[in-house]
Amino acid sequence: MWSFATALLFSITWSTSAQTSSSAPQPALLLRPAAVFDGETLHPGWAVLTEDSKIKAVGPAAQLQAPAGAQVLELPGLTLLPGLIEGHSHLLLHPYNETPWNDQVLLESEALRVARATVHARATLAAGFTTARDLGSEGAGFADVGLKQAIDQGLIPGPRLLVATRALVATGSYGPKLSADVDVPQGAQEADGVDSIVRAVREQMGKGADIIKVYADYRWGPNESSRPTFSQEELNLIVQTARSAGRPVVAHASTPEGMRRATLAGVQTIEHGDGGTLEVFRLMKQRGVALCPTVAAGEAISRYRGWQPGTTPEPERIRQKRESMRLALQSGVELAIGGDVGVFAHGDNLREAEQLVRTYGLTPLQVLRGLTATNARLFQLPDRGRLQPGLLADLIAVSGDPTQDVAALRQVRLVVKGGVITKQ
């Protein structure tokens, strides 16, 4: 019987089998932790058996027997749970206090950005996030498709990715912006009107987009407030075109009108929602549209601009976020958990869940379910997010009980992706 320490020694480097063939059969694993969180409920004394890339059995440890040749991992004091799902990331960005967004888009080569992204992908997986929605390459074209392919082929470690490629913006509404006399590369793809929108959506899907992302509102000028960009008819067309090809649409939206239009169009989630009203959140709930509030990104940007919580006055954007979150929770709209990581450091993905508990009143159990079963359901990923026979063998083990203390998710001791041990 293998000890946990022996298993870690066995997996010092990224699994050779994962590097050479992501589809190669994997030996069975019997994992025996102190408790199993199955995506909904904590079960002390349970164990999990994986076979090849799938979960074979879950239940009381005494009832699970290891087949011949299986590795048995004793995980005393640890909780085993599904691999976490990051709801909003940008692997091709890095923190804005290192390099401003404009400079990343305009001055950093795509080769440099991809090299950084490989490091970001590794850090994300090591933090226990085995799946991530990557919602826009931000000026790096279709590089996120290649990054996803490299991970899927076992060339580099990283989470399973759902990529949005270039994202869609109305002409003139996004950035970077320099002088009116200079046209510079944009952080997303401009499209307007029937022909242009249909062509852009189809191009992105044809190049490998799993998700279409649209900016339903944005700042037309550098010092303006956000205002709606696409018309209701344009948003409807984006969703209709993507849906006919089996792709969901997600909407960046922070104004009530932008959120309303995106909701009526039928998007899967609204990202940010900073200016949301009770009326629009209730409409989202009625239409089955979830909110991904990205509270960590706003907090990080405010800190970059000099805010010191408890020392300096609270910025208006933080006050507004508190109010919109209060209304969102009052409305009962479903929450997807995702932090807009890339604004802050990759690998620090848990920052969103911690703030939702510490500042906005969610319980550790609520965010834990959100990071696993709820995100999987909202993102239409029925093969993950829970520990059940037949689902993907994406699991992590953490010290302590994350249903009582969300900080336990920082103590990742084991990561298994597709039945392969990947955590050093």
Residue 223, pLDDT score: 81
Residue 14 has pLDDT above 70, yes or no: no
Give the tens place of pLDDT for each residue, 269-305.
999 999 999 999 999 999 999 999 999 999 999 999 9
Q: Where are the beta strands (DSSP E) in 217-359?
A: 217-218, 227-228, 249-253, 269-272, 290-292
Secondary structure (DSSP) of 370-409: IIIIIHHHHTT-TTSSS--TTSB--EEEEES-TTT-GGGG
Pick the CATH number of 2-82+384-421 from 2.170.260.10, 3.50.50.60, 2.30.40.10, 3.20.19.10: 2.30.40.10
How many CB atoms lie under 10 A from the CB of residue 153? 14
Q: Which of 377, 400, 403, 402 is nearest to 388 (CA)?
A: 377
- Integer angstrom CA distances of residue 186 from 138, 173, 189, 407: 8, 10, 7, 38
Give the tens place of pLDDT for each residue, 32-53.
999 999 999 999 999 999 999 9
Domain extent listing, the chain: 2-82+384-421, 84-378
Give the tens place of pLDDT for each residue, 244-264.
999 999 999 999 999 999 999
Please state the rounded mean pLDDT for residues 88-104.
98
CA distance 228 to 189: 17
CATH no., domain 84-378: 3.20.20.140
Residue 6 has pLDDT above 50, yes or no: no
What does residue 77 show for φ and ψ, rounded to 5 degrees? 80, 0
Strand partners, 215: 252
Cβ within 8 Å of residue 216, ≥6 positions away: 228, 229, 230, 235, 251, 252, 253, 258, 259, 261, 262, 270
- Which tokens sit at 13? 């480097």
How many CB atoms lie under 10 A from the CB of residue 179? 7
Please state the rounded mean pLDDT for residues 191-195.
96
Global pTM value: 0.94
**Whether residue 176 has a cis bond before it, omega within 30° of 0:** yes
Q: Which residue has the tokens 């009108």?
A: 257
